[in-house]
Amino acid sequence: MDIVIVGHVDHGKSTLIGRLLADTDSLAAGRLEAAQAACAAQGKPFEYASLLDALKDEQEHGITIDAARVFFRSARRSYLIHDAPGHVEFVRNMVTGAARAEAAVLVVDGELGVQENTRRHAYLLGLLGIPQIVVVVTKMDRVGWSKEVFERVGEAASAWLARVAVPPRVVLPASGSTGGGVARSSENLWWFRGPCLLEALDAIDERPARSDAPFRLPVQAVYKWVHRGDDRRILAGTVQAGRVHVGDEVVFYPAATRARVRTIEAFHRAPPGLASAGETTGLTLDPEVYVPRGSVVARADERPPQVGTRLAASLFWLGRKPLQLGQEVRLRIDTAAESARLESIARRLDAHTLEACERDTVIERFQAADVVLQLRRPVACDPEADGFGGSRYVLVDGYDIAGGGLVRRVLADPLDATRRAAMQRNFRWERGLVDADARAERLGQRGRLILVSGPSPTRKDVAKALEAALFAAGRTTYYLGLSSFVHGIDSDVPHDRSPEAQAEHFRRLGEMAHLMVDAGILLVVSADVIGRDEWAVLQAVLGTDPTSLVWVGEEGTPGSALQVASDRSVADAVVLIGAWLRESGCD
Ligand code: GTP
Ligand code: MG
């Protein structure tokens, strides 16, 4: 049972846990005595919190910085407890600690009552979708063990939780310092008929069997297996829900390619015939289709995840600078990472007062909002509306988690039909006997579309020179000018540049590029200025196929492109593009 302890700074979280460990004999022999001796040496009274606050800074300042993780066993089961910091500067660490928890304990100081971070943390528990919450009103020794105080503080906390998260399962009084109400009841609490903290923890329900939900395995890594001469690919990850068996037909989203599970590998034990929720496992496939990291594996006979580029989501922002409408951030959902733009803010709330805010073009630090995020490429997820807890995501700024929330719904976008058609084509793909790895080995490369576009008149020369240079370097390449295409395969599509005609041109170009990329070719296409819409159509058709966009000229460079200045010589441009391609993993 994975539990997070949250609450305002100094309200007594670490003390409660320290006491719980001590009173359940969960500490290593001598640990308590050592901590007591350390306090005595510093001339300070012993603090149970010092059993948790391992960092020197934490002990000196008496606050928790990093979410400590401790294990302990009750008579009923074992626990992993995250002791989250209460200081507002460390909300990020609290979110990290809480992200995987099955239940939470919200600690409120009886003397001080509900404070700003009590509210904020409660709000975050709601955002993270933590289903079970226990409220502890602690430091009861400081308020003369007063029933009235307990009821007043407890009710305020319950009312807030009911509004922003879920109502608590139980509200109980305790004192970390004396141990009353922690691992046992206390005479001082004679008026309270409910459980002590330990009993309340033991009464928390295990998460409803996630193994009954549809199978989901986010792909963490793809390893090349070089064991006893065979060289298979292994998809590794932790099964998030459901179960899969050897022989099951599985589908990889967002691409929707499919294969059968050939074997299920386990570390240090005989290969099992099945893997289920919570297990870290590896799958080998038949045939060995190309599956990029970040894909979600589902079973063909179960409900698929949703695939889309527009997510309606709750969002809590922790970044130092406010999040602006239109700003791009990195979104992580399970093992997938994608660039995301804040498309709209439906409702923004102050997490402290829960009042709707006036300006709707920014989300300030520590504020929450209902937003729409527009992703550059599609991800697979299970939104809250589909049950099973919903997909949590985080926003990353550099190495830091700058926010996060819950995907509520996947919204329609204009390219849904195009994308679905491409998924259908992948799903139905008829494979020959030569697999992608064997082909890549023979050619010494993987296929890729390199689209050269932009306003500069040198664009076409650059594209041709690039193909020639790659070819000279031993690559298998092909150059395609858009006009060869438009007057051939596309001769039946009107040349009127209407949106429909453009969409059809680029859909066909995408299908053709997909074939060439699958054949392992580096396809260099030169196209006159392509807009955001056309590039989006191409990407929807190509899905997870490797693509690179080079923009020759200055005006209107799309975000994902390499820009080549128009005054560069063609030879220079080719060198620059070559280096960039190597950097972006083009082999
Ligand atoms: P952060 O991790 O920094 O957010 O604080 P915390 O919630 O973990 O609080 P901590 O357990 O460190 O306790 C803060 C102070 O309150 C310490 O000085 C404790 O001795 C005191 N304290 C905690 N619980 C009790 C209690 O039940 N009774 C009394 N009298 N003091 C308590
Ligand atoms: Mg603490």
**Residue 197: Cβ-neighbour burial (10 angstroms; 0-12, 13-18, 19+):** buried
- Taking 80 as the threshold, does the pLDDT of residue 587 lie above it? no
Q: Are 36 and 135 in contact (CB under 8 A)?
A: no
Rounded CA-CA distance 306/3 in Å is 29
Task: Supply the pLDDT for residue 39.
Answer: 80
Cis previous bond, 254, omega within 30: yes
Task: Supply the pLDDT for residue 402.
Answer: 85
Task: Supply the pLDDT for residue 325.
Answer: 92
Task: Indicate the length of the chain as a whole number.
Answer: 587
- Taking 70 as the threshold, does the pLDDT of residue 219 lie above it? yes
Say how many Å lie between the CA of residue 508 and the centre of ligand 1: 66
Q: Which of 172, 199, 381, 170 is nearest to 294 (CA)?
A: 381
Cis previous bond, 287, omega within 30: yes
Question: What SS3 class is residue 225?
Answer: strand
Structure tokens at 528: 């006159």
Lowest mean pLDDT across 305-314, 393-402, 432-441, 541-550: 393-402
Tell me what the pLDDT averaged over the chain comes to.
Answer: 86
State pLDDT tens for residues 464-499. Answer: 999 999 999 999 999 998 888 888 899 999 988 888
Percent of the chain past pLDDT 70, that is, above it, reads 89
- Taking 70 as the threshold, does the pLDDT of residue 210 lie above it? no
Q: Could you tell me if the CB of 12 is within 6 A of ligand 1?
A: yes
Q: What is the mean pLDDT of residues 283-300?
A: 91
Rounded CA-CA distance 235/415 in Å is 29
Ligand located closest to 18 CA: 1
Task: Supply the pLDDT for residue 357.
Answer: 62
Q: Could you tell me if the CB of 11 is within 6 A of ligand 1?
A: yes
Q: What is the mean pLDDT of residues 375-393?
A: 80
Q: What is the mean pLDDT of residues 165-178?
A: 94
Q: Could you tell me if the CB of 179 is within 6 A of ligand 1?
A: no
- Taking 60 as the threshold, does the pLDDT of residue 65 lie above it? no
From the DSSP assignment, how many helices (H) and strands (E) are in the chain? Answer: 14, 28
Q: Which of 293, 194, 290, 274 is nearest to 236 (CA)?
A: 293
Q: Are 300 and 251 in contact (CB under 8 A)?
A: yes
Backbone angles phi, psi at 97, to 5 degrees: -65, -35
- Residue of 15, 89, 106, 118 to mutate, ligand 1, most atoms within 8 A of C-beta: 15
State pLDDT tens for residues 40-51. Answer: 888 888 888 877
Q: What is the mean pLDDT of residues 222-238?
A: 77
Confidence of residue 406 (pLDDT cuts 50, 70, 90): confident
Say how many Å lie between the CA of residue 39 and the centre of ligand 1: 15
Lowest mean pLDDT across 130-144, 231-245, 375-389: 375-389
- Taking 80 as the threshold, does the pLDDT of residue 395 lie above it? yes
Q: What is the mean pLDDT of residues 417-422?
A: 92
State pLDDT tens for residues 335-346. Answer: 899 999 999 988
Which ligand 1 atom is the nearest neighbour of the CA of 17?
Answer: 11
Q: What is the mean pLDDT of residues 272-279?
A: 86
- Taking 60 as the threshold, does the pLDDT of residue 56 lie above it? no
Rounded CA-CA distance 274/277 in Å is 10
Cβ-proximal residues to 570 (8 Å cutoff; 6+ apart), any chain: 458, 461, 462, 465
Cβ-proximal residues to 284 (8 Å cutoff; 6+ apart), any chain: 225, 232, 233, 234, 235, 261, 262, 263, 265
Say how many Å lie between the CA of residue 333 and the centre of ligand 2: 29
- Taking 60 as the threshold, does the pLDDT of residue 59 lie above it? no
Say how many Å lie between the CA of residue 112 and the centre of ligand 1: 12
Structure tokens at 579: 């280096």
- Taking 90 as the threshold, does the pLDDT of residue 177 lie above it? yes
- Taking 90 as the threshold, does the pLDDT of residue 513 lie above it? yes
- Taking 70 as the threshold, does the pLDDT of residue 299 lie above it? yes
Cβ-proximal residues to 377 (8 Å cutoff; 6+ apart), any chain: 254, 309, 338, 339, 539
- Taking 70 as the threshold, does the pLDDT of residue 451 lie above it? yes
408 vs 63, more confident: 408
Task: Supply the pLDDT for residue 478.
Answer: 97
Q: Could you tell me if the CB of 15 is within 6 A of ligand 1?
A: yes
Structure tokens at 71: 């294990």
Lowest mean pLDDT across 29-38, 386-395, 569-578: 386-395
Element (H, E) at 483: helix 482-486
Taking the CA atoms of residue 135, residue 160, residue 69 and residue 182 in that order, the dihedral angle to the nearest 10 degrees is -10
State pLDDT tens for residues 68-119. Answer: 778 888 888 888 888 877 665 556 666 666 666 889 999 999 999 999 889 8
Backbone angles phi, psi at 419, to 5 degrees: -65, -40
State pLDDT tens for residues 190-207. Answer: 999 999 999 999 999 876
Q: What is the mean pLDDT of residues 404-419?
A: 89
Q: Could you tell me if the CB of 142 is within 6 A of ligand 1?
A: yes
- Taking 60 as the threshold, does the pLDDT of residue 351 lie above it? no
Say how many Å lie between the CA of residue 13 and the centre of ligand 1: 6
DSSP assignment of 116-154:
HHHHHHHHHHHHHT--EEEEEEE-GGGGTT-HHHHHHHH
Lowest mean pLDDT across 328-332, 434-438, 514-518: 434-438
Q: What is the mean pLDDT of residues 45-61?
A: 67
Taking the CA atoms of residue 318, residue 127, residue 376 and residue 560 in that order, the dihedral angle to the nearest 10 degrees is 10
Q: Are 349 and 120 in contact (CB under 8 A)?
A: no
